[in-house]
């Protein structure tokens, strides 16, 4: 495999190329071609074509690598290297013309995140990181906010759009956050929520029933920008455990986990 930083640069180029395709399709999107994977779980031909293009490009970079993809155009996983891809994170926003959607790519070596790339398509801002190399937005190094406490923080989250069995306790969690911070925001793209924590725009983000391809790229961004990333129990099962809590510093992280814990007994 080539040098990890060089590999990241090639992933950035590929991500921007695919992002350009998505942006062009947004202006003349054909709603009649929408598909439903489940309740409120939408997919378009743009998602699928974007994923095909990403897979084709990434296969050339590490031929032996496996894939974890949202649209399952490629599903074979490998023992050592796996690409984790969300070709269009924020599909519902995209369909409705709301300019908040992204491409998210991560490279995992066994159980370690090595590369994270999140492309904020409509703003032409590409967030990227390699393990141990810091986090960047385009060519500018980024870091998490210096807000000291949860009371000084703006927090992002995601709302359940199916699997509503946990909705009531999630509303209780949100209520606790609404009373304990500057505000709670729901953008509709988990990858961008994480990128924005890394860039200091949010101080924290939490969500449950979330998938690996939604969070893998952004999780590394937050870590490399100096932030904290755990599951709801403060553990490390945040890529595949379907729940994630991130923040700008250990104090805010513990305050967030303390708010979540009373309502999230498992």
Name the binding residues for Mg(2+).
70, 86, 88-89, 214
The phi and psi torsions of 76 (rounded to 5 degrees) equal: -75, 125
250: burial class by Cβ within 10 Å (0-12, 13-18, 19+)? exposed
Q: How far apart are CA 61 and CA 109, in angstroms?
A: 14
Helices (H) and strands (E) in the chain, counts: 7, 14
Q: Which residues contact 242 (CB under 8 A, 6 or more apart)?
A: 208, 209, 210, 211
CB 83 within 8 A of CB 67: yes
Contact yes or no for 70/87 (Cβ under 8 A):
yes
Q: Which residue has the tokens 């960047």?
A: 136
Who contacts 221 (Cβ-Cβ below 8 Å, separation ≥6)? 116, 118, 127, 128, 129, 135, 194, 195, 197, 198
Give the single-character DSSP code of 237: -
Question: Rounded to the nearest 5°, which phi and psi values hold at 226?
Answer: 100, 10
Which letter does DSSP use for residue 64 in this model?
A: T
* Tokens coding 199: 């860039």
Q: Please give the C-alpha separations between residue 33 and each of 29, 43, 45, 92, 97, in angstroms, as whole numbers.
A: 9, 9, 7, 14, 15
Q: β-pairing, 183-185 with 35-38?
A: unpaired
């Amino acid at each position: 495999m080539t040098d990890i930083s060089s590999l990241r640069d090639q992933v950035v180029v590929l991500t921007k190329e695919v992002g350009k395709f998505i942006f062009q399709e947004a202006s003349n999107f054909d709603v009649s071609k929408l598909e439903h994977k489940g309740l409120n779980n939408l997919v378009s031909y743009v998602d699928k074509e974007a994923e095909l293009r990403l897979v084709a490009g990434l296969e050339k970079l590490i031929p032996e690598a496996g894939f974890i993809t949202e649209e399952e155009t490629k599903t074979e996983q490998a023992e050592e290297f796996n690409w984790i891809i969300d070709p269009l994170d924020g599909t519902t926003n995209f369909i409705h013309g709301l300019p908040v959607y992204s491409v998210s790519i991560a490279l995992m070596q066994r159980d370690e995140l090595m590369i994270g790339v999140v492309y904020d398509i409509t703003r032409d801002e590409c967030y990227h990181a390699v393990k141990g190399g810091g986090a960047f937005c385009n060519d500018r190094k980024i870091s998490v906010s210096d807000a000291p406490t949860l009371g000084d923080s703006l927090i992002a989250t995601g709302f359940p759009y199916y699997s509503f069995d946990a909705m009531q306790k999630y509303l209780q969690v949100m209520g606790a956050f609404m009373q304990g911070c500057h505000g709670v925001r729901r953008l509709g793209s988990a990858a961008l929520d994480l990128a924005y924590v890394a860039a200091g725009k949010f101080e924290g983000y939490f969500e449950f029933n979330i998938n690996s391809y939604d969070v893998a790229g952004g999780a590394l961004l937050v870590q490399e920008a100096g932030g904290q990333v755990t599951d709801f129990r403060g553990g490390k099962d945040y890529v595949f455990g379907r729940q994630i809590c991130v923040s700008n510093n250990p104090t805010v992280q513990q305050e967030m986990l303390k708010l979540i814990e009373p309502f999230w007994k498992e």
